[in-house]
A = this chain, B = another copy of it.
């Protein structure tokens, strides 16, 4: 059993856990279904793209040398040899002095090396093409391989597949990809005071909130949430459910009460689930101090505080990075951190990391971080906030007007 009252900082907690974690295994899926998944093998281009010289304009493919010196006063006159239809290989071979109709995205005639835009041409009464501007070889043409050369890296390992990656893979004919399996995350809510949300409340009972809000946050990270609802504060029942959950999951999250007895029960269950058990009992943070971090059978086991605001804050600050790690993700999404100017002084006790909930406000081009006041354990403060500002343990606060990073939930 590890130190029982070992209170550590969030960065220490993430380090401590990360070095014991492993990334989930991978599976082969259709690229068509890969949006939002994380690539487990890097993808390199197997061919050049585009695969042929494409016209980037509507106009006429020509031999560039035939247009040299052309001007409004003295156009070049070319013979129209025909057209190269969209999606077809050219059947035309241009002789000197000839041109062929070309479409945006289509092929050039054989022997052509440039495209004259239709706006710079006219058909003469005798049916000849009059060209008013010279073109250089390669002009208005996307040459084969300009987008990707054979062997070019396309999407890296650990990279999230978004719309652009999906399009790039499809364009290169990569219709199957290896991606990391979605991690299975068990969310266990426990507490004698919890009842199902559909229940009318009677003395001392509250409706279960964390099971749903934490479940939603898990799914929002691209993982699967497996919810185990409302276990009473009894060792045997909690231990049995926890072991069952651990067997089929990559991580187990308890959301239990915030009382000492409830936390002690969770800690005892985590210790008994297997070595090393509890690694840290308590974080030097506000809110969220009663957080428990442990490992069992190589799987991370987390005890979140029961207070819904603390639970969500600790989830975002500590648990989400761990889930991203086991998901195989290499980067934190760029849209999860926004810079903003602090709207009023944020005092803080040093020796403790403070998470101050804030609301973003837009003011003539400036993004302002407005602290959401009110007790940290009220759900209404969550509704009116967009995220939080982290104040380091070695800081005694942040002055009004300072630019800070806001972590969006």
B173 A86 Cβ-Cβ under 8 A: no
A312 within 8 A of B: yes
Residues A358-386 near B (CB distance < 8 A) = 360, 365, 367, 375, 377-380, 382-383, 385-386
The residues of B that contact A262 with a CB separation of less than 8 Å are: 86, 103-104
Contact flag A173-B233 (CB < 8 Å), given A56-B377, A335-B335, A409-B162: no
Among residues of B, the one whose C-beta sits closest to the C-beta of A367 is B339
| 0 or 1 for each of A82-105: is its CB under 8 Å from B? (1 = yes) | 001111111000000000000111
Query: How many residues of chain A have a CB within 8 Å of chain B?
Result: 100
The residues of B that contact A197 with a CB separation of less than 8 Å are: 31-32, 170-171, 173-175
A354 within 8 A of B: no
The residues of B that contact A167 with a CB separation of less than 8 Å are: 209-210, 212-213, 308, 312, 379, 382
B212 A166 Cβ-Cβ under 8 A: yes
The residues of B that contact A205 with a CB separation of less than 8 Å are: 87
A389 within 8 A of B: no
A386 B334 Cβ-Cβ under 8 A: yes
The residues of B that contact A191 with a CB separation of less than 8 Å are: 86-87, 105
Which of A61-69, A180-188, A253-261, A291-299 has 4 or more CB atoms under 8 Å from chain B? A253-261
Question: What is the CA–CA distance of A334 and B51 in the complex, to the nearest angstrom?
Answer: 40
A19 within 8 A of B: no
Question: What is the CA–CA distance of A393 and B217 in the complex, to the nearest angstrom?
Answer: 40
Contact flag A104-B378 (CB < 8 Å), given A197-B173, A206-B171: no
A199 within 8 A of B: yes
Chain A residues near B (Cβ < 8 Å): 31-32, 35, 47, 49-52, 56, 58, 84-90, 103-107, 118, 142, 146-148, 152, 154-155, 162-168, 170-175, 191-194, 197-210, 212-214, 216-217, 219-220, 233, 257-262, 306-308, 312, 334-336, 338-339, 360, 365, 367, 375, 377-380, 382-383, 385-386, 403, 405, 408-409
